[in-house]
Amino acid sequence: MANNKVFIVIDGNSVVHRAFHALPMLTGKDGAPAGAVYGFALALFKAVEDFHPDYIAACFDTKAPTFRHKEFENYKAQRPETPKTLIPQFEKLRHLLQDFGVEVFSQDGFEADDLIASVIAAAKKDPQSGQVDFYILTGDYDSLQLVGGNVRAFIINRGVKNAVLYDAKKVKEAFGVMPGQITDLKALAGDSSDNIPGAPGIGPKGAVEILANCDHLEDIYAASEAGEKTCLGGTTHARNLEKILLENKATILRFKKIVTMLDDAPVGPVFERCAFGNFSGPRPAEALRELGFVSLIKRLGPPATSRNATLF
């Protein structure tokens, strides 16, 4: 709603990686690589200029393993190691966000995705959340499972200028399922970004077909265990799909658990913690000058666009 307050939740790892790969090698005032920090700052400035957020949270992974690595040893095993020139930029970015007055969330045992879900879940426990619009800034489609009502997601694809806004209708149009079915879809069809193979013989088309008839995988398994007809129907094709689902039940449900974002990280009350002061005070400009990002200082001024503008 136009008069609602705005809460932006940033997938820090996702945005910084995309900034790193989208921009040429840039260095800071100290001569060290800083392109990812610069690109992240650009995305942040654009979001602030377009939406005038009242609250901002930036969520990051830690090096500690999560339950997902224990559940599935090949989880994200295909991903290359973080580039050596990117690793030190995370610390620079954290300091810059602190200087900007942006609250950072990072906690062992939880991925950035989990912290995003937990920040939003914690905020929704507060009575004022009904007058707040949440926007998730990320390059990861996992966050689409949180979309609905006053929660939307901006997915960065080929740079921040090409980010796409997803509400529930857009998710359905793009993927053929509702946001609440995204975890079922990933469990069935697989997710190459997380190295999740999915159910054998199903694929994206079969997964969408199954979820068009059944709200969730658990509905299928519950009906089967009760000796009742499942929502898949009685055709030969439907029975073949049901056979695959039943034979791979444990694996499929394990994949669904892995791709589900946890929302129980102990983040505490978040509204006061994440209140954003629009880069107030001298420190934001000083921090940019120390990094050698002098050209960005002008972006700290009062936003000139309306809150109803389009992000990116």
pLDDT higher than threshold 60 for residue 216: yes
Domain boundaries, the chain: 5-175+262-300, 179-259
Strands 159-166 and 151-157, sheet pairing: antiparallel
Neighbours of 237 (CB within 10 A): 11
Tell which residue, 149, 62, 141, has the closest CA to residue 108: 62
| Amino acid (1-letter code) at residue 248 | N
The predicted structure's pLDDT at residue 312: 31
Angstrom distance (rounded) from CA 6 to CA 59: 17
What token pair was written down for 132? Answer: 């707040």
pLDDT category of residue 3 using cuts at 50, 70 and 90: confident
> At residue 182, does pLDDT exceed 70?
yes
Rounded to the nearest 5 percent, the helix, strand and coil shares of the chain are: 50, 15, 35
pLDDT at position 26 over 80: yes
Which tokens sit at 18?
A: 């995309």
Using a 10 angstrom Cβ sphere, with 0-12 exposed, 13-18 middle and 19 or more buried, the burial of residue 236 is exposed
Domain 5-175+262-300 belongs to what architecture?
3-Layer(aba) Sandwich (3.40)
Distance, CA of 250 to CA of 227 (rounded, Å): 19
pLDDT at 38: 95
- Which fold is adopted by the domain 179-259? DNA polymerase; domain 1 (1.10.150)
pLDDT one-digit tens code per residue, 37-88: 999 999 999 889 888 999 999 999 999 989 998 888 888 877 878 889 999 9
279 sits in which H/E element: none
pLDDT at 1: 55
